[in-house]
Structure 1
Amino acid sequence: MPLRSATFDLDGTLVDSIPDLAAACHAMLAELGQPPRTDGDVHRFVGKGMAVLVERCLTWDAAPEASLLEAGIASFRRHYADINGRASTVYPGVVEGLEAFRALGLPLGVVTNKPAAFTSPLLERMGLAGYFEVVIAGDTLAFKKPRPEPLLHACALLATEPGLNLHVGDSLNDIESARAAGCPVICVPYGYNEGRPVDSADCDALVSDLVAAARWAAGA
């Protein structure tokens, strides 16, 4: 049967948000008097949500104490809320790809591990919010990707079956979540993958950008 909907990861798939995430991490670490991290470190740490990003930034020889982690999350939230979207950019081909998906008549959704407080503002500032009927953030449910629940919830809201929903992402988190939910999944190679690049063997297709993703969807 033809596809009935499509969902997309946000950070690393639609938007390059590392500049803002890294700036917030640098400010958080400086405020707490912790050793600095590089932008490359932050790039590897992104993927499993805000709390894990902060914990990874604060982890050296041992995991941070709970009080330090709590302070880090609060500091990061404050700094990131101030700069979210300031230096982020939409990846090439995203707008054209979303237009192509919309031309296929598919309702579209975002499924991200980013907290809701930062997700909608980023989509608005990037000019992408109008493309999506459904937005599932990292704290919408009790579980994040790679669990299947966020994708299953998106499919329910989009009134589609998981097997007829194409998920487009950039990491094993997306692949594992989609596989567990029963969704077909394709990936772009340019995003954030926690240092584990996606391979075409892991997903249904590896595509260069969202324009190519829309072509794949049209032929699915």
Structure 2
Amino acid sequence: MGFDLSHFDAAIVDLDGTMVDTLGDFVVALNLMLDDLALPRVDAPAVETMVGKGSEHLIQSVLRHVGGGAALYDRAWLRYQHHYLAINGQHASVYAGVAEGLSALRDRGLRLACLTNKPTAFARPLLAAKGLDGYFEQVFGGDAFERKKPDPLPLRKTCEALGTLPARTLMVGDSSNDAQAARAAGCPVVLVSYGYNHGEPVRGVDADGFVDSLAELGVQPFPSSASLSL
């Protein structure tokens, strides 16, 4: 059966690895932070396996990776914030098809929210810098609620903010975090094939479908390559 957007009133879209490739920003900011702490640098493949669970988890993972102690966390977090805000978006790029996909969802009457584990103070400027902020009624970062994805609370709260039922709200993400949160919240979920997913193959994740580009969301009926059946 083809994919029918009439099943949905809204969509919740993840940011890092779904709309914007921010790996370059992460690597630059983290290495500047590590320089400040006189610790060894990290490379992109290592960082890619650590992103997706929020900045706190990322910094803790990097410190463990380079042999830094937990006692350095507070200083590391301050330096990371300083450097990330300074370079936010400069080493990042919007994935092909994102604008087309968001436009298609909006043109079909879906209300849109961005929900990310990235701090709100990082997420809003990034969306604005990449020309994506105008698509979203709501933007919630990882510090917006008491818990982060994969906990379902952020999705439930976002549905409440949009005034939509979870069953009629599509989650679009790139990782098991997004899928687990969606499943627990009662939202259908589609994952992109090109994201981070903690360095693991995304097609092994329990999801309702996979797309190679957000532009595929606007194709009716949904292309068979998307492997979505709702």
Which bracket does the TM-score occupy, shorter chain normalised? Answer: over 0.9
Q: Does 1:135 align with 2:127?
A: no
Q: Secondary structure at the match of 2:178?
A: helix
Q: Under a length normalisation based on structure 2, what TM-score does the superposition of the two structures give? A: 0.90
Q: Which residue among 4, 26, 35 is the counterpart of 2:40? A: 35
Q: CA deviation at 1:217?
A: 8.9
Q: CA deviation at 1:62?
A: 6.7
Whether the aligned pair in 2 keeps the contact of 1:19 and 1:88 (CA below 8 Å) is yes
- 1:201-212 map, 5 Å: 202-212=206-216
Q: Does 1:190 align with 2:186?
A: no
Q: Secondary structure at the match of 2:200?
A: coil
Q: Under a length normalisation based on structure 1, what TM-score does the superposition of the two structures give? A: 0.94
Q: Distance in 2 between matches of 1:201 and 1:90?
A: 24
Match of 2:159 in 1: 155
- 1:82-121 map, 5 Å: 82-121=86-125
Unaligned residue ranges in structure 2 (runs of 5+): 1-5, 223-228
Match of 1:22 in 2: 27
Whether the aligned pair in 2 keeps the contact of 1:171 and 1:198 (CA below 8 Å) is yes
Report % sequence identity.
43
User: Number of paired residues?
Assistant: 219
Q: Secondary structure at the match of 1:194?
A: helix
- The 1:208/1:200 distance shift into structure 2, 3 A limit, reads farther
| Higher mean displacement: 200-209 or 125-134 | 200-209
**One-letter amino acid of the counterpart of residue 168, structure 2:** L
- The 1:61/1:208 distance shift into structure 2, 3 A limit, reads closer
Q: Distance in 2 between matches of 1:11 and 1:211?
A: 17
Q: CA deviation at 1:136?
A: 1.3
Q: Distance in 2 between matches of 1:141 and 1:30?
A: 32
Q: Secondary structure at the match of 1:59?
A: helix
Q: CA deviation at 1:81?
A: 0.6
Q: CA deviation at 1:154?
A: 0.8
Q: Secondary structure at the match of 1:166?
A: strand
**One-letter amino acid of the counterpart of residue 101, structure 1:** L
Whether the aligned pair in 1 keeps the contact of 2:171 and 2:182 (CA below 8 Å) is yes
Q: Does 1:80 align with 2:84?
A: yes
Unaligned residue ranges in structure 1 (runs of 5+): none
Q: Distance in 2 between matches of 1:217 and 1:130?
A: 27
- 1:46-65 map, 5 Å: 46-60=51-65, 64-65=69-70
**One-letter amino acid of the counterpart of residue 23, structure 2:** I
Q: Could you list the runs of 4 or more consecutive aligned residues of structure 1 that deviate by over 3 angstroms after TM superposition?
A: 60-63, 214-220
Q: CA deviation at 1:215?
A: 3.2
Whether the aligned pair in 1 keeps the contact of 2:124 and 2:133 (CA below 8 Å) is yes
Q: Distance in 2 between matches of 1:153 and 1:60?
A: 34
